[in-house]
Structure 1
């Protein structure tokens, strides 16, 4: 199994994700890998770590998620691996529940989200976003 961390999905991934035909509540599993140092597009704040830059995003995005009826279920540091192998562990895992794909799309298109996304880009080396749905649906 090949694993490729990315920060931004490509057009095909976006179309497949939001055009999947699935609807209803889902939980997004976010596996996050931080940059050693934040890299803002304008070169500002080079003293910040990637984790610190992402923490700015993480704090602010909770209001964006709540505004569309979602909620953060869990967030924590990755501290070990019991089964399997990966070349390098992720730094953090977060679970975020959304009421629908439309709600998530509304959030990422909102001006509030667009204003904070710079912190996400500055802090992340890569991530995996895995959509899950409740069993029995």
Structure 2
């Protein structure tokens, strides 16, 4: 299995993800890896860690999430690995439940989200976003 963290999806990934048939609510699993130091394009806030920059995004994105009828389920720092092997652990895991693909698309395309995404980019070294569907159990 090859695992490659990315900060942004490619245009092809965006089209495939948001072009999939609508199938209602889902939970997005976010596996996050932070930069050691924040890297803002304008050079500002060079004293922040990547985690601190991402936490700015994390605090601000809560309103964007709520505005589209989604909700944060949980987030936490990764503290260990019980089973399996990876070269390097992610730093944080966050779970967000969206009512639909359309809701998530509306959120990421909104001007409010675009304005705070600078903190996400400054703080993230990469991540995996995994869409999950409840199996009813």
**Common fold, TM-score beyond 0.5?**
yes
Instruction: Report 1:1-137 matches (<5 A).
Output: 1-136=1-136
Partner SS, residue 104 of structure 1: helix
Alignment: residue pair count: 136
Q: Distance in 2 between matches of 1:117 and 1:132?
A: 23
- The offset of 1:22, in angstroms, is 3.6
Distance in 2, Cα, partners of 1:131 & 1:90: 17
TM-score normalized by the length of structure 2: 0.97
Shift of 1:109: 0.9
TM, length-normalised to structure 1: 0.97
For residues 130 and 111 of structure 2, the distance between their equivalents in structure 1, rounded to whole angstroms, comes to: 24
Any gaps of 5 or more consecutive residues in structure 2?
A: none
Task: Judge which range, 108-117 or 14-23, deviates more.
Answer: 14-23
State the 1:96 CA deviation: 0.2
The 4+ residue runs of structure 1 with deviation greater than 2 A are: none
SS of residue in 2 equivalent to 1:121: helix
Deviations 1:63-103, CA, capped at 9 Å, x for gaps = 00000000000000001111111000000000000000000
